[in-house]
Chains A and B, each alone.
Chain A
């Protein structure tokens, strides 16, 4: 054995491998299939996300069967009418999704900015070290927990106190007057509240990171000019971290826009435009979730759900692309000054 080993030892230095890679034409034998596969393996993971997106889109399109659904882009969603043909309008839910996600995003940006500013700028280091992890903890709470908490507990407060109060004070604003808020407390306001909580960890974490990237000497330069911490924050840190703050907004929106279970539990689903902001309506995601059962066995109904899924995907994708584009523009402007 030992002898064998000794024999296989090369006698002198091995010749250097050819400089040109085996792929180059005209040098050496063609690489084997195995070699090609081995060479390709490291690249494969990079294509996984693309493959997933394509797979989802393609299967959804196939599942719609490209069925013609009358009135798909309309506002009347009535798949099982007592008389006449069903109609499949999904616009109510598109509107409902924006109606809940946009206010939730704005609120979570404001609150997230407040938390991030306090943590990065004002709190003593040891206090923020204790408080910061709770933001991560918030991110880890499953959405169904937010949903059940909202449905069983928070809704009472909205029904008894907050909604009547808002109705009383704001009914002069269009959209706030009219029908009295339902006593259950379910509807748009509590959905916005729950979505705000769910978007909050994302917005807070990203804004906090953005503010943390401000170099210490830049921060001190502001103070050295006689600015207060608030002024440096407003005039230096926030402009400096604006790309990160913007990405917080887009990711927070994605979270709020696509949330399903929690919204389905508290929005008081109705496939109609709400009479005022206190009523129930539907969001794309929550409605799909709620209707899955009734759609079973009805191919048109299932096709409608697939169209909704595609709509949700398309809107999210557009928001993502716009987000990436504007963030990259911001960063480029900052550096090159275009």
Chain B
């Protein structure tokens, strides 16, 4: 019996308690508490301006890059509060990766994009090769780019670029991937590929997907969390929330009466 090992594998990877984010004159997030178990994909939905993006940005301390925002509450990553003064935000971001709304490839080759996070920790070349290959495979991009790894990433299509951004986040072997509306700049075909990639990834990672698209949440998520003006008003298995919403607001939102 190894109690601690059991706890590590079964307990939540991320555990949020009373997460509150304040701007000067208003509350962006209001006391959110939520756990994220391993191998899960949680969709965070809500109308524009409800705090979805602020929410994911608070989970890897990106929110601190916006001047004037104050964070209260705790975010435990494997039991450790990432907002503890002793924690270096740079190290937090190596464990909790992020993919942005727009594909944000760097002006360098496909390979070096995927290798970015490994280069900054001065990984051995062999290790970089292996991790990049694996990450590109997991992101579902390997077959399309394996012969062109030295080509500039900017020559890829938008959907390929976004999957490269996912691969780049995966290459540093994080436990958690935050996806902030990753398909909002993509066409339907590219969106479908990225969604397929997300489905494949939830076997291995904790995925937290921000989306304003209820259909996307229905297609890929296990669980839906609904935000309304910074408050978490409902959370539950995807089917339950979509078919039997408890809150009036949730019902209105999923039936498209809010955008």
Contacts and interface: CB of A to CB of B under 8 A. Distances in A.
A and B co-occur in one complex = yes
B120 A125 contact: no
B93 A337 contact: no
Given A218-B106, A221-B104, A226-B93, A235 B116 contact: yes
Contacts of A220: 62, 65, 100, 104
Interface stretch (B40-48, B151-159, B249-257): B151-159
Contacts of A222: 106, 116
Given A217-B100, A222-B106, A227 B62 contact: no
Interface string B210-230: 000000000000000000000
Interface string A217-240: 110111111111001000110011
Contacts of A215: 104
B60 interface: yes
Interface stretch (A144-152, A245-253, A303-311, A328-336): A328-336
A221 B100 contact: yes
B62 A239 contact: no
B127 to A, nearest CB: 16
B90 A226 contact: yes
Given A235-B116, A334-B152, A225 B108 contact: no
Nearest to B101: A217
User: Which of B100, B104, B117 counts the most A-chain CB atoms under 10 A from its CB?
Assistant: B104
User: Is chain A's interface secondary structure helix, strand, loop, or mixed overall?
Assistant: helix
B202 interface: no
Nearest to B174: A226
A126 to B, nearest CB: 10
B119 interface: yes
Give the interface centre of A223, A225, A231 by most chain B CB atoms within 10 Å.
A225
B93 A223 contact: yes
Contacts of A223: 62, 65, 90, 93
B107 interface: yes
B169 A225 contact: yes
Given A239-B108, A335-B154, A224 B116 contact: no
A337 B169 contact: no
Contacts of B85: none
A227 B107 contact: no
B152 A225 contact: no
Contacts of A337: 151-152, 154-155
B101 A225 contact: no
B97 interface: yes
B165 interface: yes
Nearest to A238: B107
Nearest to B171: A225
Which of B62, B94, B106, B155 has the most chain A CB atoms closer than 10 A to its own CB?
Answer: B106
B98 interface: yes
A215 to B, nearest CB: 7
Interface string A294-334: 00000000000000000000000000000000000000011
Nearest to B95: A226
B97 A334 contact: no
B179 to A, nearest CB: 11
B38 to A, nearest CB: 21
Given A224-B60, A225-B120, A239 B102 contact: no
Interface in B115-165: 116-117, 119-121, 151-152, 154-155, 165
28 contacts: A124-B67, A215-B104, A217-B101, A220-B100, A221-B98, A222-B106, A223-B65, A223-B93, A225-B93, A225-B94, A225-B116, A225-B169, A226-B90, A226-B91, A226-B93, A226-B172, A227-B117, A228-B90, A231-B120, A235-B108, A235-B120, A239-B106, A239-B107, A239-B108, A240-B107, A333-B152, A334-B152, A334-B154
Given A223-B93, A226-B121, 16 more contacts: A217-B104, A218-B104, A221-B106, A224-B60, A224-B62, A224-B100, A225-B93, A225-B117, A226-B91, A226-B120, A231-B120, A235-B108, A235-B120, A240-B107, A333-B152, A336-B155
In the A-B complex, the 8 residue pairs with the smallest Cβ-Cβ separation, listed nearest first, are: A337-B152, A226-B94, A224-B98, A337-B155, A225-B117, A221-B104, A226-B93, A227-B120
